[in-house]
Structure 1
């Protein structure tokens, strides 16, 4: 397995946090009146070690297929993964529109689709044509999992080279909610039934069938005290492992992570299980409509910035959150203090 994932995580700057909190008390507004926006600005100040700013977010979509799809856990066939990669590249997907609107560097990375994706604008980091079926054996070999983790790190480092202050990972992979669900179940201790949702649109019977199949997966890989990186190898996906690698690398490099929905939160859970201090570098963008997402956020002690009922994936919820993050930073840095504006502050209580 990749030893780099165990390297130290960068510490937050507590002096910068204290200075940001002090500044919030001096700005021309009642303390707390901007709500969560104040908290976000202070968090990012501690991450960046000074006045917070997010000028350039980086969006990277990791795509791959899953062997478990052949067991009937998804409403869509596997070839849809490659078709959606083509849609990302041609600009027709939601995340493509959002990235363009945000003027964000946008990367599409294929780690292993069943169908080929030889399209302009797609970076091929091909490991295999999808993972193996985790119902029958390990989803990945140790070498494949290590490769996927390192690919995630590679694109995070590219974001750093571009000077991006915020990293958004996105996902595409038919049946990847199944992999995310079993990973989240083992890490959190929550039941498969409580975490399983319709994914791409299963009906009630389909959801029940998915639950039974995923329970079998858990039994198949029921070793006790399994290391999280081995759990990822056994029941993860190439794109999920790449997300995990990108998140750990971001925390090591000191880059803010804006986490998307269900799949990305499962990856965040894995990253925190492997490298607990990486949690401090994560902001959770939105609450997914997938039923299990609230339980996953609870496990991470995370409160999402937005609640929009979204469940698209692709990094779309995180991208929609970016303007709010940017405004939180600008309000913090550009508002006047009471002294600067010659406005009287709050009276002391008598």
Structure 2
């Protein structure tokens, strides 16, 4: 049994009894029932995951997975692939957007190289998990081999296992970095939504109308050429995906196997989560959506996964920014559950 299969088998359902106890406590709190909206469900779900009503998310980590994409040859991005490694160094120096928002949320940011098209010094403090220096151009053939797709997913699993060797992780945020990666992500949701690429494609880094047309054409060409099988998530990943998307899928699967809630960021992180949940449907119980991205395809991903986003701030950056910011709301949900008194605790009888 390989690492992926073993990890999927280790995913267990959250504690249903504690979840129901949490729902009951929320119903009986000294306020109108349901008045704190989706934060109530977040708190109850976390209680079920941790088997306690008093959940404390002390150790928060955001993993930003990076990779480059051969599809950039089709002119689908406003920026060159050279930007990807430059941003890796910025993350390491804590100078990027995700670093600022994660620091505010009390989270640590760690970067993983799954397929950046350059060689990093082995001493650089990142997860060195490179499968290959960038995917192939999926408008001309598969993005990667099936073995490479599996390797990228298992790299994500390894990252979680390595994190846990040093300290517990109470919540994991997923983020991305990779010029051109909205294109494979859009291709993935096109496979599963059955909607046209034109309905799903967004402007990514801000391409103009001609750039958007090139992007739509490239995705349509790649889907027609490679014919990814929606019943085989690894086939989808290998045909039109990205190495960082595989890594993100592995993070979700491993976190679920170790009982860690995952808050995913925008389009690319959710593409990884989608692949993860197609491979391991039980992982969905551990997944939270940080926000609703401006990228059109993201809403369809969330609908497919039956996830409700915690924020809608018109973000379209990636990196894990939405996940980091949502961690503060998720923290609040844990306090709502345990600290708001029930009617009985404040001496009010039969109020509901």
Pairwise TM-score range, normalised by the shorter structure: over 0.9
State the TM-score, normalizing by the size of structure 1: 0.94
Alignment partner, residue 168 of structure 1: 173
Q: How does 1:262-281 map to 2 (within 5 A)?
A: 262-281=267-286
Q: Which residue of 2 aligns with 1:256?
A: 261
Aligned pairs for 1:1-350 within 5 A: 2-4=4-6, 6-51=8-53, 52-118=55-121, 120-161=124-165, 162-222=167-227, 227-346=232-351
1:251-298 CA distance string (max 9 Å, x none): 222211111111111111111111122112111111001122212212
- Paired residues of 2:175 and 2:265 also in contact (CA < 8 A): yes
Matched position secondary structure for 1:109: strand
**Unmatched 5+ residue regions in structure 1?**
none
Secondary structure of the residue aligned to 1:169 is: strand
- Structure 2: how far apart are the matches of 1:339 and 1:299? 40
Mapped to 1, the partners of 2:62 and 2:348 lie a distance apart of 41
Q: Determine if contact 1:192/1:215 at 8 Å carries over to the other structure.
A: yes
CA shift for structure 1 position 102: 2.6
Conserved 8 A contact 2:176-2:320? yes
Q: TM-score, normalised by structure 2?
A: 0.93
Deviations 1:66-123 (A, max 9, x none): 1111121111100000111111111110111122223323211112212333374333
Distance 1:122 1:73 in 2: 28
Does the aligned pair in 2 maintain the 1:82–1:116 contact within 8 Å? no
Residue range with higher mean Cα deviation, 125-134 or 14-23: 125-134
Deviation at 1:7, TM superposition (A): 2.2
CA offset digits 1:141-180 (Å, max 9, x no partner) = 2332222111101122244442221111110011111110
- What is the alpha-carbon root mean square deviation over aligned residues? 1.8
Seen in structure 2, the aligned counterparts of structure 1 residues 3 and 32 have a Cα distance that, compared at 3 Å, is closer
Structure 2 residue ranges without an equivalent (≥5): none
- Matched residue of 2:345: which SS? helix
